[in-house]
Structure formats: C-alpha cells, structure tokens
C-alpha cells in the first residue's frame, strides 16, 4: 500500500529520487479509481438513452404529420435545445459525469460544448466574453470538419477524373 504524502512533503524533499517516489505515491492516493466495465455500462446506457430519445422524437414528429426529412430536422433542433437547456440548468455536466463518453453523442455533446462556453464567459460581456469565446471548443471541430470534407471531396474529384 502506498504511503500517504502531502504536496508540502513532496516539495520539501531535496533528493530527486525520493521526491519522484513521494510524488508517485501522492498521485496514486488522489487519483480516483474507476472500473472500466462500470464506465462502459453507463456510457452505453446513457448514450443509448439519448439515441433512443432521438428516435422517439422522429417517430413523434412523423406521427404528428411531418415528412421523414422534416421529422429528422425537428429532432435535431429538439435535441440541441434540450442539450442547451440542460447545460444552462447545470444538469448536462451531471449527466456527462455519470455517462462519460455516452454523452458525447455528436449533436448533444456539440451543443453542450458551445452552451457551456457561453455560460462560462458571460461575465466578460457580450462581445469580448460570449462573442469571442463561444467557439473555443466548437471552432476546431468546425475547422477540421470542413478541412477534412474538402480533402475527401478533392480525393473523390481526382478519383472521378480517372474512372
């Protein structure tokens, strides 16, 4: 069993080997222990529940008379709105803590990242807070999504020239 140490003890140690050993003991003591099976289970359950909700919304909108494409569009809008509302009410982070990767279902995770950033920086004002920081997480996703689609399109174009 690892000996319990404090950060004060680590910093006061002059011998680098002992300092490293104390630091490793400290990390072992403060790092939460998680079961990969339990994490996998909850990611599956919560991610599956989000996807099931999405399918239920499509079925509901189809039942209410929307066409297939319109029902899918309404479902996306509803999931984004629910994600933003849950983020604003501080419920999405709790869901994410329980569900881990299961909550990174693309549309809800993306909406959560944008809304959370807007909430975090609202104190800095509309322009320099929300306006400048809202896409700090979403920006790279958009950038690399567009860039990779351009590359794939270019490869497809080259392919069509020779086939």
Between helix 36-63 and helix 68-88 the angle, nearest 10°, is 130
User: Among 3-12, 48-57, 79-88, whose mean pLDDT is lowest?
Assistant: 3-12
Residue 146 lies in a domain: no
For residue 110, the model assigns a pLDDT of 80
Residue 142 lies in a domain: no
Is the per-residue pLDDT at 1 higher than 60? no
Residue 138 lies in a domain: no
Mean pLDDT of 80-101: 90
Host domain of residue 72: 36-120
Residue 92 lies in a domain: yes
Residue 95 lies in a domain: yes
Residue 77 lies in a domain: yes
Residue 13 lies in a domain: no
**93-110 pLDDT per residue, tens:** 898 888 888 888 778 888
Mean pLDDT of 26-48: 85
For residue 5, the model assigns a pLDDT of 64
Mean pLDDT of 107-120: 81
As given in the structure block, the two tokens for residue 41 are: 């289970």
33 versus 6: the higher-pLDDT residue is 33
Residue 156 lies in a domain: no
**130-162 pLDDT per residue, tens:** 777 777 777 787 788 889 999 999 999 999 998
Share of the chain above pLDDT 90, in %: 39
Alpha-carbon span 62 to 36, nearest angstrom = 38
pLDDT mean across residues, the chain? 85
Give the number of domains in the chain.
Answer: 1
């Amino acid at each position: 069993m690892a000996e319990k140490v404090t950060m004060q003890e680590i910093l006061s140690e002059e011998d680098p080997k002992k300092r490293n050993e104390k630091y490793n003991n400290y990390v072992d003591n403060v790092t939460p222990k998680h079961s990969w099976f339990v994490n996998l289970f909850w990611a599956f359950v919560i991610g599956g529940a989000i996807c099931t909700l999405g399918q239920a919304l499509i079925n509901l909108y189809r039942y209410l008379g929307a066409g297939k494409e319109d029902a899918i569009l309404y479902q996306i809008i509803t999931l984004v709105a629910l994600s933003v509302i849950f983020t604003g009410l501080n419920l999405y982070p709790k869901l994410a803590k329980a569900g881990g990767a299961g909550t990174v279902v693309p549309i809800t995770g993306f909406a959560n990242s944008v809304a959370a950033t807007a909430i975090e920086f609202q104190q800095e004002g509309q322009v320099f807070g929300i306006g400048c920081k809202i896409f700090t997480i979403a920006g790279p996703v958009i950038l690399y999504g567009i860039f990779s689609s351009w590359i794939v399109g270019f490869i497809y174009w080259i392919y069509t020239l020779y086939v």
